[in-house]
Amino acid sequence: MIPARADVVIVGGGSCGCVLAARLSDDPDRTVLVLEEGAVFGSVSAVPKEIRDAAVLPVGPESPWTTSFPARLTPDVDATVTRGRVLGGSGAVNGAYFVRARPADFASWPASWSYEQVLPYFRATETDADFTGDLHGTSGPIPVARVPRDRMHPLSRAFADAAERAGFASVADLNAPGPDGVGAVPSNVRDGTRVSPFLAYLEPVLDRPNLTVVGGVTATRVVISGDRARGVEIAGPDGPRTVSAGHVIVAAGAVRSPQLLMLSGIGPADELRRLGIDPLHDLPGVGREFSDHPEFTVPYRFRPGLPPHTVLLETVLHTENLEVRPYTASFGAAIPGSGVPHPVLGVVLTRPRSRGRIVLDERDPRRPPLLDYRYLTDPADRTTLEEGVRLATDLLAGVAGVVETGSVDAGNGRLGTSLHLSGTCRMGDDEHAVVDEWCRVRGTDRLSVVDTSVFPQAPSRGPHATAVMLAHRVATAAKVGLPYPV
């Protein structure tokens, strides 16, 4: 049953929404309501096996746990992008790659988000099985571990050896500041289970009387009166209604969060008028200038007789602007229904200059928007990615005993995306910033956005660990009374 009012209404039960809900409901006098569009679960045992199994990414075209968006990667390359649509969000169905943003990534964030200031919150989110000390947590909700070299899949082990022979450093801890190189991937996996923020943060506290989590509910608009958010209009099994809120936190992801703001009248005023939406607050940065990591996949063939994979990505090579990923299985084996039969080596541009935008459907702005990536529009991006493909091809040639001789075919590769979309509601204090340094929507009281939308740009590593840290820190600030009056 959906209450008529809550002190905090969180739109979206993804990674950030789960962290926020768990930590904000620590106060028994604060009522918290989570509105999730997808399925919700009341216990660990109710979570389907394909969501828990870290060897499987249930994001194929027939998956009931995702939603799809049309995308234009370049003027010549169209794609379909999937995001998690289930309690736990994309963090419940991803590759369990839990690596932190690098210290230099925070140079584009407001000063209060320097690496030194966020490190205690990275530590608070995790229990690291391999490292202790000042850099790592020992009692946080998310388990973090790495596959030792001697237990890695033969491809991972051979790739790491080839990278070191090529002169790249061996890095023991990719979550520590230090040099680039090849190292084991930090993963949020325990005993083969993908431990999402739902399982780690929210599931243990679902029985709190002040916490309500509902699924199958779509937020259609944030209700704004004057300069203040008053509640959320929703559509669900019982029809449309409005839930009143003391504070609304939008945590619907880097696509849905800007879309919901625009549907609510917050965004580029000229564009909203063109779509028939009454602009309440002109914020030209909503949905604009997002970044993501282009990924070019180089196909090849395994030699026969290799063992099955357990985690899709066990090791990676980092250079200044690239990440090279030796996936331990074909996407066809790891992503049911993907139809990609051969294994691939992923070449990822980690510091892209090109920027994209979210384009609402003119026929019906409530429909899934177009993700116009504009990949490789900056010539430097194309040059760096081409260099990465040559590096990947050379490394594959050195993976003896694992890759069939002559099977590497960079010319048959494909441009895709790493699904790390960030910056559609970025934080800052300039005219194009959407939220302030504490994720409050500029110009609208009692309304926040807390997810990868607010990252100034995609971090040079996968965003999941940084997103969990963000939500943990924002909730900590709210718990002590600042900066949220919730």
DSSP string, 233-284: EEEETTEEEEEEEEEEEE-SHHHHHHHHHHHTTEE-HHHHHHTT---SEE-T
* Cβ-contact 277, 159 below 8 angstroms: no
Query: Is the confidence at residue 486, as pLDDT, over 60?
Result: no
Annotated binding site for FAD: 86
Annotated binding site: 86
Task: Give the separation between CA 26 and CA 398, rounded to whole angstroms.
Answer: 53
Place 243 in a pLDDT band, splitting at 50, 70 and 90.
very high
* Cβ-contact 143, 195 below 8 angstroms: yes
Coil vs helix vs strand at 373: coil
For 124, half-sphere exposure in the C-beta direction (CA atoms, 13 angstrom radius) is: 17
Fold adopted by 5-478 = FAD/NAD(P)-binding domain (3.50.50)
**Burial profile 149-168: b = 16 or more Cβ within 10 angstroms, e = fewer:** eeebbbbbbbbbbbbeeeeb
Query: Is the confidence at residue 261, as pLDDT, over 60?
Result: yes
Q: Residue 15: name the closest of 96, 65, 89 by CA.
A: 89
The answer to which of 117-126, 259-268, 407-416 has the lowest mean pLDDT is: 407-416
What's the DSSP call for residue 180? -
Helix 154-165 and helix 379-397: axis angle, to 10°? 110
Average pLDDT of every residue of the chain: 95
Q: What is the mean predicted confidence (pLDDT) over 53-61?
A: 92
What is the C-alpha radius of gyration for the chain, rounded to an integer number of angstroms?
22
**What single letter denotes the amino acid at residue 420?**
H
Q: Where are the domains of the chain?
A: 5-478
The residue whose two tokens read 């943003």 is: 101
Is residue 57 packed enough to be buried (19+ CB in 10 Å), middle (13-18) or exposed (0-12)? buried
pLDDT, tens digit (0-9, with 9 covering 90-100), for 335-348 = 988 878 889 999 99
pLDDT at residue number 479: 66
Query: Is the confidence at residue 40, as pLDDT, over 60?
Result: yes
Q: Residue 159: name the closest of 373, 390, 289, 325 by CA.
A: 325
C-alpha of 437 from chain center: 19
Query: Is the confidence at residue 95, as pLDDT, over 80?
Result: yes
Q: Which of 153, 309, 318, 420 is catalytic?
A: 420
What's the DSSP call for residue 151? G
pLDDT at residue number 478: 78
Task: Give the separation between CA 139 and CA 468, rounded to whole angstroms.
Answer: 15
Q: Which two tokens stand for residue 87?
A: 């309690």
Query: Is the confidence at residue 485, as pLDDT, over 70?
Result: no
Q: Residue 346: name the closest of 244, 269, 417 by CA.
A: 417
Count H helices, E strands: the chain? Answer: 10, 24
Query: Is the confidence at residue 106, as pLDDT, over 90?
Result: yes
Sign of CA dihedral 345, 348, 354, 356: positive
DSSP string, 53-114: BTT----STT-TTEEEEEEEEETTEEEEEEEE-BTTGGGGTS--B--PPPGGGGGGS-GGG-
Q: What is the mean predicted confidence (pLDDT) over 24-41?
A: 96
* Cβ-contact 415, 375 below 8 angstroms: yes
pLDDT at residue number 484: 53
C-alpha of 328 from chain center: 21
Is residue 342 part of the annotated active site? The answer reads no
Query: Is the confidence at residue 179, as pLDDT, over 70?
Result: yes
pLDDT, tens digit (0-9, with 9 covering 90-100), for 426-474 = 999 999 999 999 999 999 999 999 999 999 999 999 999 999 999 999 9
Is the entire prediction scored with pTM above 0.95?
yes
What's the DSSP call for residue 144? E
Q: Residue 320: name the closest of 102, 40, 136 by CA.
A: 102
